[in-house]
Amino acid sequence: MTEKQEQILKAALLLFAKEGFHATSTSKVAKLAGVSEGLIFRHFGNKEGLLKAILEEGENRLKILFADIVLETDPKEVIRKAITFTGKIDVQDYDFWKLQFKLKWELEINGDKKMEPLKMALSNAFGKLGYESPELEAQLIILFIDGIGSSVLKGSSLNANEMMTFLLRKYNL
């Protein structure tokens, strides 16, 4: 990964997250990155290749964040960590995560698969704690995480921290 490659990736991430994929031209990306437009195509083939490079990094980062939850053995701690998940994401990475959410709608990418390990961990945790419908409980928490994430990244008026502690109380955590 050369320096200019990283500049391109950084510029593309910023613009895609702010304006959207289709609204961002390769010439804009090149200008912001301070490189010639042709270089984008040399390195990433086409505009979609540039996007894929960014999205792949997203999957990897998500796996790392999930690892902390999935490897946890105490079921209560699993649920607690899941609920407070959104609070853990770095403010500096907002653009990055915003893009992930944005593209789920703009390009109709289904994010279900990515959440599968988290769902399993939660389902397992609720099962251990004797809940009646562990899978539905898990699904509900994921719905919550997704909603909180959306709100935070979209800059909604919702107070995420208050919401998380509220839910923790509901689960006696």
Partner DNA sequence: TACTTTTGTAAGTGATTACTCACAATTAAA
Partner DNA sequence: TTTAATTGTGAGTAATCACTTACAAAAGTA
Q: Does residue 3 belong to the site contacting a copy of itself (CB under 8 A)?
A: no
Q: Is 22 left (phi over 0), alpha (psi -120 to 50) or beta?
A: alpha
Secondary structure of residue 21 in the 3-state scheme = coil
Distance, in Å, from the CA atom of 115 to the CA atom of 91, rounded to the nearest integer, reads: 21
Interface with DNA by CB under 7 A: which range of 43-51, 99-107, 126-134, 137-145?
43-51
Q: Pick one of 14, 20, 32, 43: the residue that binds DNA (CB under 7 A).
A: 43
| Residue 140 binding: pick among a copy of itself, DNA, none (C-beta 5-8 Å cut-off by kind) | a copy of itself
| Residue 144 binding: pick among DNA, a copy of itself, none (C-beta 5-8 Å cut-off by kind) | a copy of itself
Q: Does residue 52 belong to the site contacting DNA (CB under 7 A)?
A: no
Contact between 15 and 32 (Cβ < 8 Å)? yes
| DSSP states of 80-102 | HHHHTGGGGS-GGGHHHHHHHHH
Residue 107: CB minimum distance to DNA, A: 14
Q: Does residue 46 belong to the site contacting DNA (CB under 7 A)?
A: yes
Contact between 80 and 165 (Cβ < 8 Å)? no
Overall residue count recorded for the chain in this entry: 173
Residue 6: CB minimum distance to a copy of itself, A: 26
Distance, in Å, from the CA atom of 81 to the CA atom of 69, rounded to the nearest integer, reads: 6
Of the two residues 2 and 155, which places its CB atom closer to a copy of itself in the complex? Answer: 155
DSSP 8-state class, residue 155: T
What residues make contact with a copy of itself under the rule CB under 8 A? 20, 22-23, 101-102, 104-106, 108, 110, 112, 133, 136, 139-140, 143-144, 146-148, 150-151, 154-158, 162-163, 166-167
